[in-house]
Amino acid sequence: MTDPERSRCEAHEEEERRVAQWLRQHPDFFERHPALLSQLEIRHDSGTVSLIERQVSQLRRRSDELEERLGEMMTVASDNERLQRRLHEVGINLLACASPAQLGIRLFNELREPFQCQELALLRFRPEADLPWRAVTQSDFEQRLPGLLRNHRALAGKWRRDELRFLFGESGLQMSSAAVIPLLAGDQPLGVMALGSTEPSHFRSSMDTQFISQLGDLVAGLLARIEREPAAAIPC
């Protein structure tokens, strides 16, 4: 490119910048000159369209995207409402349990359907535990799944095969995703509840764990109450 050509190109670019800046400062320009919208043309791979046609196309595409997102949000809201209602029913049913064993059996019977999971594991940090609970030491658990108890919240997603086997036993080798829920009485870990699925995307790391964390708080509170006041519970 020669020097005169370079100068003309730079002058043209500067003029375009001034026009763009002026339009930004006067956003109502096309409202006052609507006829220009149908005269201005934008070139793209499929041909040439007027500016107003391009805007209509973009608005329609944006509308479709928003409608799709709204549909997804409504589906999620409906699912959350259904899950919250089901967990409320589960919580009421759990309140009557008089022992950790009864509580564990009720959890096995109640939780698989609302969470659509194939396995449920109940771990207690005690030397012994009544079935369906399984006794493990807290130090062993923290060695196998480090950091989970310190987070004080449920975690969901994919786990290593050795972690799934530790949580669910031999059936854990069939699991592809899981939600692991600490059971905490205040800051005191009582154990862990884990939900397992054969579907890799069923329990995702991006999922909202608010409901299952609340469920963990409820189960931990019931465990603490049953051990503290066993006579106060009503047999299931």
Has domain 97-232 been given CATH number 3.30.450.40? Answer: yes
Q: What is the pLDDT of residue 66?
A: 77
Among 145, 155, 156, 163, CA closest to 201: 156
Burial call 66-86: b when 16+ CB within 10 Å, e when fewer: eeeeeeeeeeeeeeeeebeeb
Q: Which residue carries 């049913």 as its tokens? A: 93
Q: What is the pLDDT of residue 195?
A: 92
Q: What's the rounded Cα separation, in Å, for the pair 114 and 85?
A: 10
Interacting residues of 76 by C-beta distance below 8 A, sequence separation 6+: none
What count of residues does the chain have?
236
Give residue 233's Cα distance to chain centre: 35
Look up residue 132 and give its two tokens. Answer: 């369906």
Per 3-state DSSP, the chain is made up of helix, strand and coil in percentages (nearest 5) of 60, 15, 25
Q: What's the rounded Cα separation, in Å, for the pair 29 and 44?
A: 24
- What amino acid occupies position 40? L
Q: What is the pLDDT of residue 133?
A: 93
> Are 181 and 192 in contact, with CB atoms under 8 Å apart?
yes
Q: What is the pLDDT of residue 178?
A: 92
> Mean pLDDT in runs of 10 for the chain (236 residues)?
70 83 81 69 56 68 75 63 72 82 88 82 91 92 86 86 92 92 88 92 82 86 82 48
Q: What is the pLDDT of residue 47?
A: 53
Q: What is the pLDDT of residue 166?
A: 93
Helix (H, G, I), strand (E, B) or coil at 158: coil
Q: What's the rounded Cα separation, in Å, for the pair 140 and 132?
A: 19
Rg over CA atoms, the chain: 30
Beta bridge partners of 172: none
Q: What is the pLDDT of residue 4?
A: 65
> Are 215 and 153 in contact, with CB atoms under 8 Å apart?
no
